[in-house]
Chain A
Amino acid sequence: MTSLTVIRRRAGRWALNGAAGLALAYILLPLIFVVWLAFFRQEIPSFPPEGYSLKWFAAILDQRKFVDGFSLSFRVGVLATAIGLALGVPAALCLVRYNFKGRGPLANLLLLPVVVPGVVLGTAMYVFHVEAENALDVDVLGTFYALVAGHIVIVIPWVVRLVTASLVGVDRAIEEAAQNLGANAWVTFWRITLPSIRPGIVAGALFGFVTSFGNLEMSLFLVGAGRTTLPIVILQYLEWKIDPTIAAVSVIQILLIAIAMLVTDRYVKLSRVV
C-alpha cells in the first residue's frame, strides 16, 4: 500500500513538473529564438545559420529612427510613470483607507485600462484628443504631452493595483504609533507609510514603465509625424524587410527590462508583491 502511494505521489510530481516545464518552454522558446536570430550573419533568417556576427547590433545605431524611437519611448515611459505614481499612490491610499460611496466601482475603473483592448483605448483617446483640440484651440493630437497623457492611463492600473496590495499588508497601528510619538499626518506619511509600501511603489513603477515602453496599439493612435515610439518603429521596419536588426533591437529591449527587474528584485522581492 505504501509503495503504491509513493509511486502515485512521485508520478503526480513528475506530471506537475512536466506541465510546468512545457508551459515555461512555450513562453521562453520564442525569446530564445529571437536572441539566437540576432547573432545570425546572413540577412534572410534561415536555418541552420551560416555563421554568427554582431553586425546587426551595429546596424541599429546607423538607423536614426531606432535611436529616436528608443529615446522617445524611454522619455514617455519615465514621465508617464512619474505622473502615474503621483496620481496612483494617493488613489490607492484613498481606496484602502477610506470607506466612501462608490469605492468599489472607482477601484474597478482605475484598473480598467489594462482590461480594455489597446485599440479601443487608442480610438477613444484619439477622439478625445481631437475634441480637446477643437474645444481648446491648441495643438493636442500627436504632441509629446498628449502621448504621455495616454500612457499615464495605462500606468495607473499597475501602480494602483500593486500599491493597494502593499497597503493592505501594512498594520494601521504603525501610523497611529507614529502620531502618538509626535509625528503629524504629513510626517507620518513620509517617514512611516511611504517606506512601508515601497515594495508596491517600486513594483508598480517598474511594471508601469515596462507596459508604457512596450505599448504599441494605443500609441499608434497618438503619435505624430516624426515622433514614433520604439514598438511602432519596429512594426514599420517589419513591413519593409525581415532581417536580424529587429531581433537585435528586441534583444536590447529584453536585456533592459531584465536588468530593470533584477535590480528591482534586489531591493524588493517582486515575487512577494505580484
Chain B
Amino acid sequence: MARLEIQNLVKRYGDFHAVRDVSLSIADGEFLVLLGPSGCGKTTTLRMVAGFIEPTAGHVLLGGQDVTQLPPWKRNAGMVFQSYALFPHLTVAQNVAFGLEMRKIPRADIGKRVEEVLALVRLDGYGGRLPRQLSGGQQQRVALARALAIRPDVLLLDEPLSNLDAKLRQEVRVEIRELQRQLGLTTVMVTHDQEEALTMADRLVVMSEGEVRQVGSQRDLYERPANRFVAGFVGRSTFLDGTIGTPGHFRTSGGLELKCTGDKTGPAVLSLRPERVEIGLVPLEGLDNRLSGTVEFVSYLGSLIDIHVRLSPADRLVVQIANREGGFSPDVGQPVHVGWPLSAGQVFTT
C-alpha cells in the first residue's frame, strides 16, 4: 500500500473539459470517495489514475513515483470495474490468478495466494466455477479478489455496487469497508450514490463539471457545505433566493426579512436543512428567525414526514419532522409557525 498523489490533473476532449485541475492527496490506508453526478469527471479521474486515459496535463504519483507516463500494466493498481469485467472463458481461480501469472510468480505460490484471497472474500471452494455460474454478488467478490490478489499499491473501485440489488448493496458496503480496513488498503472509490459514499468513506470529494467542489469528512460536507452545489447534492436543502443589503440581513425575493450569518453582501441564497427547521401551531420562542405560513404539501415517509410550507408567494420551505407518537401532524391548508436558529442557515452569495 502506498499514498496516492494527484497533481493538477486535466483532461480535455477538444473544447470539452472532462476534468479541470484536480489535485488530491490520498494517505496510506485511506478510503477516499469521489462523489458527483454523472459526467462530473469522477470516473475520468479514476481512469487516469489507472492509466486508461492519458491526462492532458498534470501528474499521478503512486508511492512517491510519478506513474503519469506508465501504461496501465506497469502500474500496481488493482481495479474493480462496474461491470466486474471478469474473464468469461476463465474459471474463478484462473481469473484471480491472472494478475499473479503476469507478475511471473511461481506456480505453487499462485495456487496458495489464490486460495487465500478467495477465502478472504468468502468464496473458498468456488475456484473451479465459471463467472456465468455465479450470482451478481459472487461475481462482484471475484472481481474484488482478483484486484486484491496482486497486492496493489492502491485499490480503485468504479461504482462497484451499482449492479447489485439494494439489500445486497448494504451488506457488500460493510464487507468492502471492513476488508479495506483490515488490509490497510489505500482506496479510491467512485460513486454517484451519496448514501454509499457517506457510509464507506474516510473522506469525500464532491465533484461537478470536472471540478472539485469540496473535500472533507461526512460532517464537513453536511454541516459546512462550501457552496450551493454541495449543499444541494449532499443531503437535502431548501434554497431561498434573495439579497443581503447589510451583512446579517437577508431579504428573500418574496420580501421576507431574515437574519443570517456572515459578512457578505449582494445577491445570495439562504440554504436550510429541512430537519433543522422547527415547526409548530403556536409561535416558536427563542429562535432567531420566526415566520408563519401555510402547509401546502405533506409527504408521509414512514419514520419521517416532509412538510412543504408556503411562506410568501415566492418562498416555500421544506420542513422535515420525526414521526413520533402524538407528535405534530399537519394538514394541508393549515396555518403554521416555523423558525430556526441563526446557525441553521447558510448563505452563499451568487
Contact = CB atoms under 8 A, between A and B. Distances in A.
Interface stretch (B86-94, B110-118, B261-269): B86-94
B73 A182 contact: yes
Interface in A149-195: 171, 173-174, 176-184, 187, 191-192, 195
A176 B85 contact: yes
Contact of B98 (A173, A181, A184, A195): A181
Contact of A183 (B82, B83, B102): B102
Nearest to B82: A173
Interface in B70-110: 71-74, 77-79, 81-83, 85-89, 98-99, 102-103
A176 B49 CA distance: 13
Nearest to A187: B102
B52 interface: yes
Contacts of A264: none
Contacts of B81: 173, 176-177
Given A173-B83, A176-B52, A181 B88 contact: no
A184 B71 contact: yes
Given A173-B81, A187-B102, A180 B87 contact: no
B102 A181 contact: yes
A182 B52 CA distance: 13
Contacts of B86: 174, 177
A191 B99 CA distance: 12
A239 to B, nearest CB: 51
A123 interface: no
A174 B87 CA distance: 6
A143 interface: no
A184 B103 CA distance: 12
A192 B72 CA distance: 16
A134 to B, nearest CB: 49
Contacts of A198: 89
Contact of B77 (A180, A183, A192, A196): A180
A180 B74 CA distance: 8
B87 A178 contact: yes
A174 B90 CA distance: 12
A179 B103 CA distance: 12
B83 A179 contact: no
A177 B90 CA distance: 13
B150 A192 contact: no
A184 B74 CA distance: 8
A196 B150 contact: no
B103 A182 contact: yes
Given A181-B102, A183-B102, A196 B89 contact: yes
Nearest to A180: B79
B73 A179 contact: yes
A177 to B, nearest CB: 4
B190 to A, nearest CB: 14
Nearest to B158: A173
A184 B99 CA distance: 11
Contacts of A181: 73, 78, 98-99, 102, 146, 150
B73 A177 contact: no
Contacts of B22: none
Nearest to A174: B85
A180 B72 CA distance: 5
A196 B98 contact: no
13 contacts: A171-B85, A173-B81, A176-B81, A179-B51, A180-B77, A180-B147, A182-B99, A182-B103, A183-B102, A187-B102, A191-B98, A192-B87, A196-B88
Interface of B: 50-52, 71-74, 77-79, 81-83, 85-89, 98-99, 102-103, 146-147, 150
Given A177-B81, A179-B72, A179-B73, 13 more contacts: A171-B83, A174-B85, A177-B87, A179-B52, A181-B78, A181-B98, A181-B102, A181-B146, A182-B73, A182-B103, A196-B88, A196-B89, A198-B89
Interface of A: 171, 173-174, 176-184, 187, 191-192, 195-196, 198
The 8 closest A-B pairs by CB, nearest first: A182-B102, A181-B99, A173-B85, A177-B85, A179-B72, A195-B89, A180-B79, A173-B81
